[in-house]
Amino acid sequence: MKSYQQFCGVAKALDVLGERWTLLVVRDLLLGPRRFSDLQQSLLGITPTLLSKRLSWLTEHGVIARVQANGRAYALTERGRSIEPVVLALGSFGAEQLTTPTLGDRVDPRWAMLSLKRRYRGSPTSARLAIHFAGDSFSVVIGGSALDVRDGAPSACDATLSGQFDGWFPLLTRRATLSEQLSDGLLERSGRVNVARAFVKSIGARP
């Protein structure tokens, strides 16, 4: 990897994170540990050789580490997790260019779930939800100043929301309300209705 050779924090960060695919590897680890095969599947277009290089580079610089989770996997270190605000800020910047997926665009439910962190506006209701989205499950905790979202369904929750991309996308883009999506059968809810509504409000969507 080439260095900018500048005595500047931004330049030093880019020395580590500025190569193609590197920040997307970090993005895909923000919800929890991932195996090599998981990363290769989500980062469609990266070769196994290049992915290995990026993982080795990030490990060498203390951004990720090998862990025993779901088999041998990679996880962000404390140093790596400190990059989250940068990734979310980039997501906010790029979201202005998101309308509907175009031909060839790949859609991943984990990216949509990660976007909840930057959408979150706070909530007076403290609760845990299970989100089932396009065949994947996530645990979401609302309440306070930050939303927590992780891979995998929680063992217990206050409410559950389920649906495919066609049900979630109009909700997240404020083109439809939660009530409309539930009524049309595009989303399903179980558990406390007030928790589901509080969650939707907390991410700037319409209940």
Co-location of 73 and 122 in the same domain: no
The half-sphere exposure of 96 on its side-chain side, counting CA atoms within 13 A, is: 4
Q: What is the CATH number of the domain that holds 62?
A: 1.10.10.10
Residue 2 lies in a domain: no
pLDDT reported for residue 102: 82
- Give kind and range of the element (H or E) at residue 76: strand 72-76
Co-location of 197 and 129 in the same domain: yes
pLDDT reported for residue 51: 98
Co-location of 55 and 121 in the same domain: no
Point out the residues of the chain with pLDDT beneath 50: none
Domain that holds residue 58: 9-83
Strands 136-144 and 64-68: unpaired
Co-location of 49 and 126 in the same domain: no
pLDDT reported for residue 72: 85
Residue 55 lies in a domain: yes
Position 116, amino acid: L
C-alpha to C-alpha distance for 163 and 186, rounded to whole angstroms = 6
Count of structural domains within the chain: 2
Residue 151 lies in a domain: yes
Query: What DSSP string describes 6-60?
Result: -SSHHHHHHHHH-STTHHHHHHHHTTS-B-HHHHHHHSTT--HHHHHHHHHHHHH
pLDDT reported for residue 106: 87
pLDDT reported for residue 98: 82
pLDDT reported for residue 70: 66
Residue 101 lies in a domain: no
C-alpha to C-alpha distance for 40 and 115, rounded to whole angstroms = 21
Residue 90 lies in a domain: no
Rg (CA), the chain: 18
Co-location of 76 and 145 in the same domain: no
Residue 6: CB atoms within 10 A of its CB come to 11
Buried residues in 183-195 as b, exposed as e (16+ CB within 10 A): eeebbebebbeeb
pLDDT digit string (tens) for 96-155? 888 777 888 888 999 999 999 999 999 999 999 999 998 899 999 999 889 999 999 999
C-alpha to C-alpha distance for 165 and 108, rounded to whole angstroms = 9
Residue 104 lies in a domain: no
How many helices, marked H, and strands, marked E, lie in the chain? 10, 7
Co-location of 194 and 117 in the same domain: yes
Contact at 8 Å (CB) between 28 and 39? yes
Co-location of 54 and 130 in the same domain: no
Residue 117 lies in a domain: yes
Residue 181 lies in a domain: yes
Co-location of 76 and 137 in the same domain: no
User: Which residue has 């990679």 as its token pair?
Assistant: 74
Last residue of a domain, one of 28, 49, 83: 83
Q: What is the CATH number of the domain that holds 172?
A: 3.30.1050.10
CA 49 to chain CA centroid, nearest Å: 25
